[in-house]
Each structure stands twice: as structure tokens, then as C-alpha cells.
Homo-oligomer: A and B are copies of this chain.
Amino acid sequence: MIDTTTTWTIAQMADDYDVTHRALRHYEHLGLLAPDREGQRRIYHRRERTRLALILRGRRLGFSLEEIATILDMYDDQPGEVGQLRYLLSQIGDRRADLERRRRDIEDSLRELDELEQRCAEDVARLS
């Protein structure tokens, strides 16, 4: 069952995901996160955590926060209209192409790394 009751403070979020609270506020400022308020204090629900996880993965993959914003929008509330759905499908296609290109880049890099390692290991063997 999905937990919809637990909430977190900014400090817990920062701690759990290893980001600064400054970063969290920055993401909020850009509209990537929208925590509730309890008086003045931010309170983060489940939704914000999954969004933050997406943000951080996007960052690791080298997306800009602006790109990440459009990605988050894609996952947000599904549109009920066919035109919007078609648009979303095309966006998905774009994203997929992008990711697949990156994957190719990574696999090429890994292959080259393998070669280098092998040459390197041979040299070590020869010299010792």
C-alpha cells in the first residue's frame, strides 16, 4: 500500500537525498517542487520525494533543470484530450531518442575504456 500520510521536513529531505536545502528551495523556485506549507514551514509529501528523485536522476544524466521541468510535466496529470495526448506521445518519442543516444555514447565509452584497460593491464604484466 502506498504511503500517503507521512510527511518530511526540508532537513529530512536534504538529508535523505543528500542535497542542500538551498538546492531544494531553488528547485521550488523553478516550479520543480511545490511542497505544502504548515504555517511558514515547508512540508514534503510522497509526491515531492518521487519528483526529487526524478530531478536528481535527471541531473546525473546531465539534463538542465529546464529540461527536467518538461519531463516532470510529462509525468504529471495525464491530459484528457486527444490532442494533448498525441503531443505527449511525441514528447515521449523525443525523450526516448535522446536517452537512446546517450546510451550509445555510454556504451561506446565503456568499450573504449575496456580496450584501454586491457592495454594497461598488459603493460603492468610486462613490467612486473
Which residues of A are interface residues toward B (Cβ below 8 A)? Answer: 57, 60-63, 74-75, 78, 80-82, 85-86, 88-89, 92, 95-96, 99-103, 105-110, 112-113, 116-117, 119-121, 123-124, 127-128
Q: Is the CB of A61 within 8 A of B124?
A: no
At the interface, is chain A mostly helix, strand, loop or mixed? Answer: helix
27 of the cross-chain contacts (CB-CB < 8 Å) are A60-B101, A60-B105, A61-B62, A61-B102, A61-B105, A61-B106, A62-B63, A74-B116, A80-B127, A85-B120, A85-B123, A85-B124, A89-B117, A89-B121, A89-B124, A92-B113, A95-B109, A96-B110, A96-B113, A99-B106, A99-B109, A99-B113, A100-B110, A102-B102, A103-B103, A103-B107, A106-B106
